Structure 1
């Protein structure tokens, strides 16, 4: 019975264990590379570096010790625990997830948006009471905080991997190969939890996503401190904060939509999702704001309006397409969209946004990603890393979606 419910995985993604190993090393390395490759501390974006200097740095034990900051680690741990306590204490509705292979459903507590508002309220109070200079510590302790988030990712991935061997666990169909490295990376258990605390969905929306906005606010405060107050913050910085803050708020407000995504319904929770949620999202997606903190850019009214229109277009496509999909998955069809019934009995939309494009929500996401980078100007390609990376990520996800549709 256990074998039927949790069959052995025979298909590898990411080139199997070698690929999983390289990505597990490469993702944390890229987080640091994007910092040291675009940082005031190293001399620019990119800084004037040589192979000899890089080799000297990474072979120096003091450089490696410099990645760790005990105070920053304690700050990060306090932030994570704040999110846990907010999840437990703040009121929220109970929403059922999709039907599992066991026939049952997981019930999720919905209060990510409330946690976001609480965090913003506390942050705003600190800044209003003590000035923007009181919230620049994230800019100053960026490396230590990033290291702490990576350590947290490794610890969580290891914990859930070990816990997945307890009897009665429902495993992810793609994470039960028997190879330690691959299963640890991809995620062996589908829905690891401690009591009613669902680890995967909690990490997807709370610690990293909200921290993304808080880091941006810290970058804005750093620029404000240097330029003589919040009134002198550049239009480009306000745009980045507004665009990305709205994106995060939208995702948190529409929290139930998360429970129909591939991450939740199909993927296990391992290092891939842990480091993506906790480290990659907050410390890579804030690259534009961090750049603008030490390299201010004034856009002017015409360029500002143009960038706003680009972001608005992307958001409209993203939200409307996702709205159609989520309504349909939840048994609603207010637009009377056409659909086909597959051999497996499931239904696929064939009109509306999903009749025009295979993945219209991805297109909206990419247009928004471009709008988030445009405020940084065109002096460096590094601030456009997010757009390039996101395109690669979405192409890979599109291929996975197509494979899933083909099986239907």
Structure 2
């Protein structure tokens, strides 16, 4: 009896539903990300507190009535500086040595190859900054806070341009089908609504030859720039008060630790939804290039303007929160990765699914379906606590990150429900907590 033929591979299936609130939500995020990237530093400059909320915004609206204020947001020099930074990252990705690794199997049965040298790029960048600063001083770093708004503008415009470029990559083969092979589109990026598809990302793995645009932007320009910005704010605080506070040292150390760890374990991204499922559109472009470096470094920006000394006991308390979050984050991820690679040193329990794979039901993954998210969120608190309680502004990150993780958990669960069917229902009964055991 002949076997049933496998369904033909479709590079451009029609998307079944919207995410992020559809076109209206896509428009909202497209406007909100640049807005908050501008607004947060402007608010910090005035020591924003709940008490001066009304006065601050009245003064802000009056300033915006002056055309000179709008002109101050643009600088050709700042655009050149940002383009030079991006070019540096591209050159490093192309020329620095790195191990080649295969990604997950795609719908067409192929596995793309990725060059893992983000950590080498980070080290080269830090060495270049250290050498330049040793010879010429901190003026180059001070360019960043002194031209912050102009750099936000440059990065925002580049994020838009990159999103239009990759969207064009998906459209050109449709216009000239005989000349170009159709790219593989993301399952959620081909709704037919151009605004939404541009935002969410049509092409799953946009590339120029072997250069993977999505993986590159995930791990290099924005993530490494986050550390560069932090160092600039250290220099800025030193310029302003003649020393660097313990709160600033803790904040920058936590951020650097996170980035160095991510870059050192770069291959872990190959199994994330960003790489395996999501297309690359404006959402990832502006998220990777603008939102991550400009808002994740915000606590350091705030401390440069509003320095604070924590003392020994304060530092010890913040360190305890950081170590707890990192321990949960790293050990849970290690459990998952070891298990996926066929190793089970802790003899963790699991059950077989009809797909032939197994789902963990003990260790961290027996306590919560997303324990790594819990560790990540605890670390978010450690990154904000060094600012004290002089303003609610730095704590925006804890709130934003909680919303992000809950949304990501919801998407993960929906994807797993489609992937595992009734086995996922069984897993949810065995592991009822989504992120925080016995809470959520």
Contact 1:223/1:233 (<8 A) preserved: yes
Structure-2 separation of matches of 1:340 and 1:79: 48
Name 2:189's counterpart in structure 1.
175
| Structure 1 residue 136, shift from structure 2 partner | 1.0
| Structure 1 residue 30, shift from structure 2 partner | 1.3
Query: What is the DSSP-based 3-state SS (H/G/I as helix, E as strand, rest coil) of the residue aligned with 1:109?
Result: strand
Structure-1 separation of matches of 2:186 and 2:383: 34
Name 1:15's counterpart in structure 2.
21
| Structure 1 residue 56, shift from structure 2 partner | 3.5
1:124 aligned residue (121, 124, 130): 130
| Structure 1 residue 50, shift from structure 2 partner | 5.1
Structure-2 separation of matches of 1:346 and 1:18: 38
Contact 1:133/1:222 (<8 A) preserved: no
Structure-1 separation of matches of 2:326 and 2:69: 41
Name 2:149's counterpart in structure 1.
143
CA-to-partner distance for each residue in 1:121-180, whole Å, 9 max, x for gaps? 111112222333442111111111111111111011101011013232000000010110
1:202 aligned residue (216, 226, 234): 216
Name 2:176's counterpart in structure 1.
none
Contact 1:132/1:225 (<8 A) preserved: no
Map of 1:149-168 to 2, 5 A cutoff?
Answer: 149-165=155-171, 166=173, 167-168=181-182
> Normalising to structure 2: TM-score of the pair?
0.88
Structure-1 separation of matches of 2:199 and 2:122: 29
CA-to-partner distance for each residue in 1:357-378, whole Å, 9 max, x for gaps? 1211011001111001111010
1:360 aligned residue (352, 371, 386): 371
Name 1:399's counterpart in structure 2.
410
Contact 2:318/2:386 (<8 A) preserved: yes
Contact 1:184/1:270 (<8 A) preserved: yes
Name 1:213's counterpart in structure 2.
227
CA-to-partner distance for each residue in 1:343-394, whole Å, 9 max, x for gaps? 3333321111110112110110011110011110101010111111000000
Contact 2:44/2:305 (<8 A) preserved: no
2:267 aligned residue (242, 256, 259): 256
Structure-2 separation of matches of 1:312 and 1:397: 24
Name 1:45's counterpart in structure 2.
48
Query: What is the DSSP-based 3-state SS (H/G/I as helix, E as strand, rest coil) of the residue aligned with 2:114?
Result: strand
| Structure 1 unmatched runs, 5+ | none
Indicate whether 1:285 and 2:296 are aligned.
Answer: yes
Could you say which structure has the larger radius of gyration? 2
Contact 1:339/1:350 (<8 A) preserved: yes
Indicate whether 1:344 and 2:350 are aligned.
Answer: no
Contact 2:48/2:56 (<8 A) preserved: no
Structure-2 separation of matches of 1:332 and 1:63: 59
Indicate whether 1:32 and 2:43 are aligned.
Answer: no
Of 306-315 and 323-332, more deviation after overlay is shown by 323-332
Q: Which 4+ runs in 1 deviate beyond 4 A?
A: none
| Structure 1 residue 27, shift from structure 2 partner | 1.1
> Normalising to structure 1: TM-score of the pair?
0.95
CA-to-partner distance for each residue in 1:202-243, whole Å, 9 max, x for gaps? 000100000000000000011112233xxx211000001100
| Structure 1 residue 52, shift from structure 2 partner | 4.3
Of 128-137 and 396-405, more deviation after overlay is shown by 128-137
Indicate whether 1:238 and 2:249 are aligned.
Answer: yes
Query: What is the DSSP-based 3-state SS (H/G/I as helix, E as strand, rest coil) of the residue aligned with 1:164?
Result: helix
Give the 3 Å change call, closer, same or farther, for CA 50–369 of structure 1 in structure 2.
Answer: closer
Query: What is the DSSP-based 3-state SS (H/G/I as helix, E as strand, rest coil) of the residue aligned with 2:44?
Result: coil
Structure-1 separation of matches of 2:63 and 2:191: 38
Structure-2 separation of matches of 1:368 and 1:150: 27
RMSD (Å) for aligned C-alpha atoms: 1.6
1:93 aligned residue (93, 99, 118): 99
Contact 1:292/1:376 (<8 A) preserved: yes
Indicate whether 1:306 and 2:317 are aligned.
Answer: yes
Give the 3 Å change call, closer, same or farther, for CA 33–2 of structure 1 in structure 2.
Answer: farther
CA-to-partner distance for each residue in 1:35-80, whole Å, 9 max, x for gaps? 21212xxx32356635544433444433222211111111110000
Of 164-173 and 395-404, more deviation after overlay is shown by 164-173
Indicate whether 1:187 and 2:201 are aligned.
Answer: yes
Structure-1 separation of matches of 2:65 and 2:280: 34
| Structure 1 residue 330, shift from structure 2 partner | 2.9
